[in-house]
Structures are given as C-alpha cells and as structure tokens.
Structure 1
Amino acid sequence: MKRKILGESILYVIIHVMIQMLILFLGPAIYTYSKSPLDWDTWIKGHQLILTVIGWFVLCFILWLIYRLNRQKFWLETKLSETVSVITIGICIICGVGMNLFVNGFLWLLPLGEMFPEYGQVIERIINQPFFITLLLAGIITPIMEEIFYRGILLGKLRQGFGVVVAIGIQALFFGIGHMNLVQGIYACVMGILFGYVVIWTGSLYGAIILHVVINTTSILWRHVIPFQPEGGELEILILIGAALTIIGLWFISQTDKREEQNMYTFKS
C-alpha cells in the first residue's frame, strides 16, 4: 500500500516536471514559427513566469481528470471543500508577513547572490518583470497552484499510506526539490513542512494558500515598491519580529481546529 501511494505521488511529480519541460519547449517553438527566429534562452527567461503558470493549469486539469476517472471527489480530497474562519484568515496573514520577515532577514544577512549565482539569477528574472504581472503570476496564481498540488493532492494521497509526519515530510521534500536551486529548495522544504501542518491543523487547504500568497506578495511588494535594504541592527530586529510573528501565528493556527489532533502520529490504511 505504501509503495503504491509513494509511487503514484512520484508519478505525479514526474508528470509535473514533464509538463513544465514541454511548455518551456513549445512556447518559444510556437513563437518562432509564427513570428521570427529568436534566442530561445532569452525568450524563455522573459516569459518564464507565464509559461510556468500555464504548466500549472495544465497539470491541475490533468490531475482533476484523473480524479474524475477514478470517481474521486477532487475538492473533497484536496481539502478545498473545507473553509476557514475569518479569524484564522487574519492570523494566517499576520503569520505570513512574519515568515516573510524571518526568511528574507536571513537572505539579506548572507550574500547569497554571490554564493549561489543560480539563486541570484532567479530573483533577478522576477524583479525585472513588470510589477503587476509578477504580482499576479508569482504572488497569487503560482502559490495557489503549488498548494493545490503539494498540500492538496500530494499530501492528501500520501496520508492514505503514511502517518501525518511522514506524509508532510515527503511532500515538503518534493516541494523543495521542485524549486530547482539549493537556496530556494532549503527554505521551500521548511515552508512546505509548516504549510503541511497548517492544512492538518485547520482541516482546510485555504490556510496554507493564504500563508503562501502573503509570503510571495509581500516579497514582491518589498522588491518592487519598497526597495528596503535593512542595515546594522535593523536586520536583527526584522528577524526577531518575523520569528515572533511566525511562532505566535502558528501557535494560534494550531489551536483553531483539533479535529485531527488524535491522528497526528497514526497511520492511515
């Protein structure tokens, strides 16, 4: 049972990678055929956000069809049918801001762009995109799609064969690897664990979606609208504030719903 569940989860990840690769190939190929020859690498870098979002929509549609063919209820299985309270939404927003301060504080603290050039290139591509396009695609749509896939589909499936702790760990590992660079992969894996527990605590996917969207949108706002670069003691203060908001926020979220607490360390068959 566990091997089957893990195998299906890995298959979904492979399908995701193949779709993204296909979209990245077909996009410039179609444009070249319809317009004029161009530098594929340059074109992909300039349109990577929209190509990635297209890939996510294609993937979610395919997986929705698979659920339909297997007579499974997509919205129920992915926890999209469950709602969260207004209070929980507010706490998630505050917690998301805290996570952003904490993570970006450490990213500002270290010269990661110099230590890991691929990370610097990813950030530069995002910054160089038009603000509203970046906000919509990277700040809102992409995190929603990622939560549906990793915390909705994968976590839901993995929980059928593994305990909560193991299932959260596996999907978080997939989430980290999916970012395709070391820096983002490390903090994405940690975030994936926290997002996974938020889904378990609230019994809904929407808490994790709100957290993820807030983290992404605040990062984009600070890089585009408020190019704030903390100096000296400001950095330590931001990290401490971020840590406090994150810890307090997660504690409050963990208290919002205890429906699955008794199953936290049990295995589902």
Structure 2
Amino acid sequence: MKEKKPRKSQTNMNIIGGLVLIIVPFLLTYLLNLIAYFAAFAIVFVLNTYMGASIEFDEKSFAGGSMPVNTVVMLFLYAMLCLIIFGWWYLVIKNNSSNNNESKKKTSKKGSLLKNAGLIIVFGYSFQLFIDSILNLVKKVAPKLIQEYDENIGSLVNNKTSVILMLTVIIITPIAEELIFRGVITTYSNKLFPPKTVIIISSVLFAIYHGNIVQGVYAFIAGIILGIIVAKTGKILPAIMLHVVINLSAYLVPDILFKNIITLLFTLVGSASLMFLVIYIIKYGTIWSKQTDITADNNDSKNGSKKSDAADDSSDAKNGSKKSDAADDSSDAKNGNKKSDAADDSSDSKNGSKKSDAADDSSDAKDGSKKSDATDNNTNKNNVSKKNNNINNRNKRKNVNK
C-alpha cells in the first residue's frame, strides 16, 4: 500500500496553526501586562484606602491614560503572571514532546552547569560591561538618542532600596522572559523552521517586546546569544542563568569606568576580549554543544578503534611471535628428536654392531674352544690306543720268547 501524501491545504493549515502558536504567546504578554496594570492599581488603592498603607503612585500613567500606577507593584505582578502561565505552558509542551519521543535515544552528552557556571558569570558580566560601554559612547556622541532609555532604565537600576524591585528584575523577570521566548515560542518554532531561523525569530520578538529602540538593539543581540545556548545545550536553564547574570550585572557595573573616554575604551575592549575568550573556551575547552559532543564521541570511537586495532595488531604480533617461537621450538624439538633418534639409532647400530661382533667373537671363541677340545680328545684317544697297541705288541713278544 502506498502512503498517501498530505494535501497542500493540510500542510498550509499546519503552517498557519504553527505560526499562530508562535504569535499567541507574544501577544499574550501584552494582555498580561494590562491585567498586571489594573491589578497593581487595585491593590495599591485598597492598601492605601482601607489598610492605611502609603504606597505612592508614579507620575506616569499606563498608555497615556488617566489612571496612575506603581511601577514596582505592576512589574512584580506582571512577572509573576508570566512565570506561572508560561511555566505551566512550557512544562506541558515538554512533557508531550518527551512522551512522543520516548523511544528515541539521546545522542548527546550535555555539559554540566556546575562546570560552566563560572564561564556564564564571566560572559554575562562582560556582556553587560560591553553594552554599557557602547551606550555611554553613544551618549557622548548623540545624547538625545538614548534619553528615553536612561529615563526608563535609570528608575529601575538606581532604585537599590526596593527589595521587591530587585527581586523582580534580577530573578523573576529573566526566568519569565526565557520561558516565553526560549521556551514556548522556540519550541513551537522548531516544528516549522530550521534552528538558525528559530533563533532569529525569537530574538526579533524579544527585541520588539522591550518597547524602545535602544533596548531593542541589545535585546536582539542578547536574544541571539541566549538562543544559541538553548540550541546547543538543548536546555533552557543555561539561558536563564546567563539572563540572571546580565540583569544582576546592571546593578554591579561601577560608573567610574565610563567617566572619560580612555577608561570607556579600555572597558569596551576588555569586555569584548573577555567575551571572545569565554566563547573560545566553550567551543574548544568544554563540552557544551551537541555537535561537539557527537564529534568528540566519534573521535573517541575512532581513536578507540585505532587503539583496539593497534592493540589487536600488537597482540597478533605477539601471538604470532609466540606462535612462531612455539613453532620454531616445536620444529627444533622435532629436529632435535629426529637428531636424537638418529643419534640413538646410530648409537644403537654401533652398539648393535659392537654387540654382534662381540657375540661373533664369543661364538667363534666357543666354537674354537669346542673344536680344540674335540681335537684334544681325539688326540688323547689316539695316544691311548697307540699305548695300548704298544703294550699288546710287547705282551705278544714276551709270549713268543717263552
């Protein structure tokens, strides 16, 4: 039976459905931002009116409206809503994909985060130094270009007294944003596009999400880096760690580094050098990416096969030498046995000839002695007979004389 090819209309519907799943999480963030705004206003109003709290509203209002807002409370509520909703969404997607791919074997070894935590910290802090150096350099050339950025970010970074704000900016927001862009959006994009396109899509959406040009530019660069990390490791946790380090570094960068052009340029060059050094170490010094793990495994297998072949050759050579030695020994033994047998035979033949000669001699001696004895007896008999004849003759003569 021939398998039926999917119709064009069906494939088009699948593509449209995939694009919707990519766009919906992005649009949902604006809806959650609106919900967080009204929830923050309601909470602050209730606390101030009915519980005697003195929470101040910011001078700005949401989207130019008349309702004031407390930025700290709103950001905290928004980050928590994103963390809960997209965290649940991402877990559902991962569980479904893992159930569908249970029979597939894992072909890569993922690097340990503990081993690479130091590299993540160095790279994150260097990246923040590099971005701040660029922004301060642009500020010296065109100060009006980043005026809006300074107003938005300065109110967050310079406020180091609010524990809730620092907790939100440093921990909750990075986790929530990674779950949105490198989690849900990236997972759905992987079903339609190749990895490079997926990284670009998530980075563009991440840049638009920040709402201004200056933040959008370095958010796009950061999105590329974070997307590469997720694509290489297959995990979202390294990207979350790097995002946390970058946001934390915004509170740790000293302003003295940007006071004059000389220190600014030194900071720019030094931070760029550190980033390239970390990239080099990750690429050639550690095992992070799937491709490097697979090539490393292939190299190990090749080297192992070569070693095993060499070991087999050496063992064969040893066995061959042993066998040849054994063969030589056996041949020597055989030749020795033959020689010994021949020597034994020759010695036996010599001994045999000697024995036979001795036997012949003894037999001849015996025969000679027997013959000599016989002749002696005969001579003795003849002598006796002669004596007897002589005696008889004498007796006859005596009788005649009488």
Unaligned runs of 5+ in 1: 77-81, 264-269
Aligned equivalent of 1:123: 153
AA aligned to 1:27 is A
Give the Cα separation in 1 of the matches to 2:291 and 2:210.
30
Question: In the TM superposition, what is the alpha-carbon distance from 1:197 to its structure 2 partner?
Answer: 0.5
TM-score by length of 2: 0.56
Aligned equivalent of 1:103: 131
Question: In the TM superposition, what is the alpha-carbon distance from 1:262 to its structure 2 partner?
Answer: 11
Aligned equivalent of 1:36: 49
Aligned equivalent of 1:220: 251
Aligned equivalent of 1:86: 114
RCO (CA 8 Å, sep 6+): is it higher in 1 or 2?
1
Asked whether the equivalents of residues 160 and 166 of structure 2 are also in contact (C-alpha less than 8 Å), the reply is: no
Asked whether the equivalents of residues 83 and 179 of structure 2 are also in contact (C-alpha less than 8 Å), the reply is: no
SS of residue in 1 equivalent to 2:70: helix
Asked whether the equivalents of residues 15 and 192 of structure 2 are also in contact (C-alpha less than 8 Å), the reply is: yes
Aligned equivalent of 1:50: 76
Aligned equivalent of 1:235: 264
Alignment of 1:250-261 (within 5 A): 250-255=279-284, 256-260=287-291
- Structure number with larger C-alpha Rg: 2
Would the alpha carbon gap of residues 73 and 25 (structure 1) be closer, same or farther in structure 2, given more than 3 Å must change? farther
AA aligned to 1:45 is T
Q: 1:209 aligns with which of 216, 234, 240?
A: 240
Unaligned runs of 5+ in 2: 1-13, 51-55, 62-67, 102-109, 295-402
Asked whether the equivalents of residues 18 and 188 of structure 2 are also in contact (C-alpha less than 8 Å), the reply is: yes
Q: 1:139 aligns with which of 167, 170, 193?
A: 170
Identity of aligned residues (%): 25
SS of residue in 1 equivalent to 2:290: coil
| Count of aligned pairs between the two proteins | 253
Q: Determine which structure has the larger helix proportion and give its number.
A: 2
Question: In the TM superposition, what is the alpha-carbon distance from 1:156 to its structure 2 partner?
Answer: 1.9
Aligned equivalent of 1:175: 206
AA aligned to 2:129 is L
Root-mean-square deviation (Å): 3.0
